[in-house]
Every structure is written in C-alpha cells, then in structure tokens.
Homo-oligomer: A and B are copies of this chain.
Amino acid sequence: MDARLDFGQTPTAEHGDVVRMVMAGLQLSAVFAGLSDIRLQEVADKVVQRQVEDGDVLCHQDDTAHTVWLVLDGWVKLTRETLDGSEAVWDVLGQGHIVGLETLTEPYRYTTRAVAAGDGCVFAIPHSILRKMVDSEPRFTKALLQNALRQQQDERLDMEHRTQQTAPQRIGCFLLRLAGTPDGGTIDMQLPFDKGLVAARLGMQPETFSRALAKLRAESGMEMTGSHVRMDVGRMSAYVCGACSGVYPCRGC
C-alpha cells in the first residue's frame, strides 16, 4: 500500500522529475508554498506518496502522531467516535488540505480519526521534517500560524452556521461554497461525495438531509438528481445568506 518514492534507485533524470512532482504536490498547500526550493526539496525527500481506498484509516484518534497527510486527490473525513459507537464527522478535507496539523502541539496526538472517503491519494509527511522546518525556518512557522488562524475562522463560521441556519440553509450554504463562484447565474455541478457524508459533514441525519433537500428545492428552485446539482446562485444565496451574510459574508456566499 505504501510506496516509498524510490530516490536513488532510478536514473538521476527521473529522480529529478519525481522530486519536482512531489515539490509541486506540496505546493498545493499554502503552508509549503512559501518555502524556498531548497527547503521544499528537503521536505520532499521525506515524503511518501500513498494511494488510499475508501475506508482506509490514516490515523486513530488519540494516537501519538508521527505523520501528517497532505491530500492530493480524493477526500479524507475527520471523525470522532461517540459513546454509542456512531461517528460524528468533523470535516471532510480535499485537495491541498492537511490532516493532523494539530499534532504539532502539546499532546502530540490526533484529535480525530482520519478515514479516506472514496479512493484517493495523499502525501505522508513525517513529523520530524516538519519540526525541523518549524525550528529552522521562521517563514514556515508563520505559514503554519496563518493556516491555523484561517482554519479557526472557518470553523467558527461553521459553528455559527450550525446554530443560526436551518437545515435547508446549511445545505444551500454548502452548495454555494462548493460552487465557489459568486458571479450569479445558473450553474451545474457534482456533489463531491455521497449525500450521507454531506449530511454528516453538516451535522444532520440522513433523513433530515433528505427532507431538508426537498424543502431547499421548493424554496430555491435548485434541482438535484443523483449527484448532479443545478441551481441559480443568486436565488440560492438570497435564500441562504439571509441567516448570516449580514454578519459575516461567508466565502462563496
């Protein structure tokens, strides 16, 4: 399953190609984008690329961490077990997002379980190289700080939404953020993962999701067949953002 990049085992030319590819992959995250080539290569040397299949577990909650992961392709869901054995989904991370950065501090333990949602590809990045970078490259630490602060803001927004938006609005907001383009007009797109996971990500039951979807269709004119979505951005945001835009325009709303 793991595939150590075969540095030194292949001709130099190819080696260079691989390194360049890994470096490009790392730069998907703003955290690494600011590093100098030399530093970036230093990280790239320690990176292990890994293909993951649906359900593969990257890490377990409360385990001591030695690795973080950068999502290259596919989705990784962060979950926590509830006492009754069911799982609560914290977040679903896509390309360019990093799993497990919270382990750079004190308890050095993963606060969630990370599971592949569908097949995908990730970089495994050893803790050791990150700590080395933190200790020797202030710019990197700054980037991590910015990353953490930005993430914090996103999570606060999420929290606000959970308390202030109704279920249909939360779904609408999710779709708007997915769309990304605030230019208005009717757009088509695909749900990135199945409805059950979307529901969990939004903190609601599948049944609630289904019903809320029906209501959202009625209220906003959105259409959804299977994983295909068509909606009018303007109309959708009019329906959704009344509950929050006055406060803090979400990205994508």
Where the two chains meet, the residues of A that have a C-beta atom closer than 8 Å to any C-beta of B are 61-62, 80-83, 88, 90, 101-102, 104-106, 111, 134-135, 138, 141-142, 144-146, 148-153, 155-156, 158-160, 162-164, 203, 242-244, 246-248
Contact = CB atoms under 8 A, between A and B. Distances in A.
A225 B164 CA distance: 32
B246 A81 contact: yes
A101 B149 contact: yes
A243 B106 CA distance: 25
Copies in the complex: 2
Contact of A80 (B81, B106, B111, B160): B160
A105 B164 contact: no
A88 B247 CA distance: 11
A83 B155 contact: no
Contacts of A153: 102, 111
A152 B152 contact: yes
A33 to B, nearest CB: 14
Nearest to A137: B138
Contacts of A149: 101-102, 104-105, 148
Contacts of A160: 80, 88
A165 to B, nearest CB: 11
